[in-house]
Amino acid sequence: MDESIKTTPDDQFQKDISDYIQAVALAKTIAVSLKTQKQNAAEIEQRLLDHFALNGIKRISKNGKTVYVKRRVVASAIAQEGDESGAATERAVKVLKATGFGFLIKERYSATALSGIVNEMEKSDEDPPQEFNGVIGVLEIFTLGVTKS
């Protein structure tokens, strides 16, 4: 038994450990299967989209289900060869402001990057800036991991 466990675990604890290991393994198996199914569906979807377009089909029903073509319009900044990081966004911001769409521009921060910086501060025994107090919350989240022994 792992030396980090100082007390003798009861039967429920042992059962919970076994159940947890089994649940994690099953979740991993399902995740791999799900990824494979999504890749398979994406390949079939592309073939079907081509067939629908080639034959002018908008929808078709089979086995009580209707398969139809959905259209989404997506707009984003266009990066040009040799652009510095963020250059496309800067150009888009200027154009949006100049054309009356400035209301689309929002100032934001990356919670993931902020968490990484705070984590690095902690590792180097550095305190976050005082200005964070009452504004930026720092939480510790504990989870379990499973590895082969």
**102 in any annotated domain:** yes
Q: Which residue, among 52, 92, 97, has the nearest Cα to 75 in the 3D structure?
A: 92
The number of C-alpha atoms within 13 Å of 32 and in the hemisphere containing its C-beta is: 5
Model pLDDT for residues 15-45, shown as the tens digit of each residue? 999 999 999 999 999 999 999 999 999 999 9
Q: Are residues 19 and 31 in the same domain?
A: yes
Q: Are residues 124 and 136 in the same domain?
A: yes
Q: Are residues 2 and 59 in the same domain?
A: yes
* Residue 37, domain extent: 1-64
Amino acid at the residue 113: A
The verdict on pTM exceeding 0.85 is: no
